[in-house]
Amino acid sequence: MEQEHVAGSVETRNQPPDPSEAAAAKRETQRRLDMSRGVVAICTGGWGLAMAAVSLLYSGRVPGENVMLWCFGVLVLGIVVPMWLRRVRRHAGIPVGVAKGELSLKRPMRRVEALAMLAGVVFVVASAGLLSILPRMAARYTSGTTLGAVCLLMLIPLAWRGLRLHLWEHLFLAASFVISGVILVFLRDSNIGWALGTLGAGGLIAGLSLHLRWRRWVRSLPKEGTAANGENSVGETTASEGPA
Amino acid sequence: MTPSPSPRGDDGLDPVIHEASRLRLAAVLNECEAADFNFLLGVTGFTRGRLSSHMAKLTAAGYVAERKEFVGRMPHTEYRLTKAGRDAYAQYLRDWKKLTRPRTTRKGG
């Protein structure tokens, strides 16, 4: 009854539907969600820079300790990033359900995201393996080309997403992957460190920019009890606001 | 009581989703699974009244689950697309594609 009252209180004219508008709304949501993922890029970029520093310290050689550090970093990122992401999203009123949804394999759409996550894990593990094995086993040219090709592959999804969602940060990240790929193709002992450094710096800059965008947008959202968006000012608050 | 599925219009499209604003809302909720009132306001740019009324219609049709709570003194409303809602949205997109697909005509057939 209450719902009927709400529906009846405001006149809504049925407008002809336009699926392109639905597509635009979907794109806008993806854009916002991508902005919230800036924290992922910040953490990964910081980790990349740390790995670059270690790698340069070891003069570009990749000893077993480096690979251990790499795997430890992945583990820490796997714990820290989801917690930070969840917190950041809760501030904008996207509840925990999103995180659950991303891990759910029941929905076809989420299956794509789960596959993307799996591909990311495979990418990291494969990179660790390649970084540790290739420079020892294969010729420099072969290992450089392989590592470079892995980086260049990342160009496609990042550039596509950047152009589609109008986020220059994705293009910037794609560019840093390309530069790293080119550096790795001309593999020398010290190049792995520089490639990691380029990736880390790219991730950090792109992540910070995305995160600032996200924060600006969250701050622009209507606050409790304001009539920022017109008509009846029903006090609504995001989950994070007010005393819990 | 589970709401019964809404009857199809003459064109075979679901009349609940066959409206520009509700279609946008369904698209947003389908993408982020659950969102609160303010997030939806920010993404869609609707007014509060417009958003409330369309969400009420989606809720009444059983396409959206609504959860209201108070955070301090302020109401907080969270919306989530139900399974019926997700199915209806996917079906709507399929139906729309079918309707708008250009029909091929065969010569001499």
Q: What is the pLDDT of residue A201?
A: 93
CB distance from A103 to chain B under 8 Å? no
Please indicate whether, in this complex, the C-beta atoms of B43 and A25 are within 8 angstroms of each other. Answer: yes
**Residue in A with minimal Cα distance to B94:** A19
Residues in A touching B57 (Cβ below 8 Å) = 7
Q: What is the pLDDT of residue A81?
A: 83
Is pTM beyond 0.95 here? Answer: no
Task: Give the residue-averaged pLDDT of A14-40.
Answer: 81
What are the residue ranges spanned by the domains of chain B? Answer: 20-100
Cβ proximity of A36 and B39 under 8 Å: no
Alpha-carbon gap, residue B28 to B75, rounded angstroms:
22
Task: Give the residue-averaged pLDDT of B28-38.
Answer: 83
Q: What is the pLDDT of residue B10?
A: 60
Q: What is the pLDDT of residue A209?
A: 94
ipTM of this complex: 0.76
Collapsing DSSP to helix, strand or coil, A17 comes out as coil
Residue by residue, what is the 3-state secondary structure of B45-63? Answer: CCCHHHHHHHHHHHHHCCC
Handedness of CA A102, A92, A205, A158 (dihedral sign): positive
For the stretch B46-99, pLDDT in tens is: 888 888 899 999 999 899 988 887 777 777 788 888 888 888 888 888 888 887
Please indicate whether, in this complex, the C-beta atoms of B33 and A33 are within 8 angstroms of each other. Answer: no
Task: Give the residue-averaged pLDDT of A167-186.
Answer: 87
For the stretch A60-94, pLDDT in tens is: 555 566 667 777 777 788 788 878 887 888 777 77
Q: What is the pLDDT of residue A26?
A: 85
Q: Of A12, A17, A234, which is closest to B23 when you measure between CB atoms?
A: A17
Q: What is the pLDDT of residue A152?
A: 79
**Residue in B with minimal Cα distance to A110:** B31
What are the residue ranges spanned by the domains of chain A? Answer: 33-139+190-219
Domain covering B20-100: architecture: Orthogonal Bundle (1.10)
Diameter of chain A measured on Cα atoms: 74
Query: What does pLDDT average to over chain A?
Result: 72
